[in-house]
Amino acid sequence: MRAFLTVIIATLLSVSAADMCGQWRLSKAGKYIVYNNLWNQNTATSGSQCTGVDKISGSTVAWHTSYSWAGAPTQVKSYSNAALVFSKKQIKNIKSIPTTMKYSYSYSGTLIADVAYDLFTSSTATGSNEYEIMIWLAAYGGAGPISSTGKAIATVTIGGNSFKLYKGPNGSTTVYSFVATKTITNFSADLLQFFTYLVKNQAFPSTQYLTTLEAGTEPFTGSNAKMTVSAYSAAVN
CATH of the domain at 205: 2.60.120.180
By CB atoms closer than 10 A (0-12, 13-18, 19+), residue 53 is buried
Q: What angle do CA 159, 161, 167 make, to 5 degrees?
A: 100
Buried b (16+ CB within 10 A) or exposed e, 2-41: eeeeeeeeeeeeebeeebbeeeebebebbbbbbbbbbebb
pLDDT in tens, 120-178: 999 999 999 999 999 999 999 999 999 999 999 999 999 999 999 999 999 999 999 99
Buried b (16+ CB within 10 A) or exposed e, 132-158: bbbbbbbbbeebebbbeeeebeeebeb
Residue from 114, 118, 214, 218 carrying the catalytic annotation = 218
Residue 114 near residue 96, CB atoms below 8 Å: no
Pick from 203, 155, 197: nearest CA to 179:
155
Interacting residues of 57 by C-beta distance below 8 A, sequence separation 6+: none
Residue from 38, 132, 135, 175 carrying the catalytic annotation = 132
Measured CA to CA, the distance from residue 4 to residue 163 in angstroms comes to: 48
How confident is the model over 209-222, as a mean pLDDT? 99
Residue 34 near residue 82, CB atoms below 8 Å: yes
Q: In terms of residue numbers, what domain contains 222?
A: 2-234
Can 132 be counted among the known catalytic residues? yes
- pTM equals 0.92
pLDDT in tens, 36-55: 999 999 999 999 999 999 99
β-partners of residue 70 are 46
Measured CA to CA, the distance from residue 214 to residue 222 in angstroms comes to: 22
Count how many domains the chain has. 1
pLDDT in tens, 69-89: 999 999 999 999 999 999 999
Question: Mean pLDDT for the chain?
Answer: 94
Give the whole-number percent of the chain exceeding pLDDT 90. Answer: 92
Say whether 140 sits in a helix, a strand or coil: strand
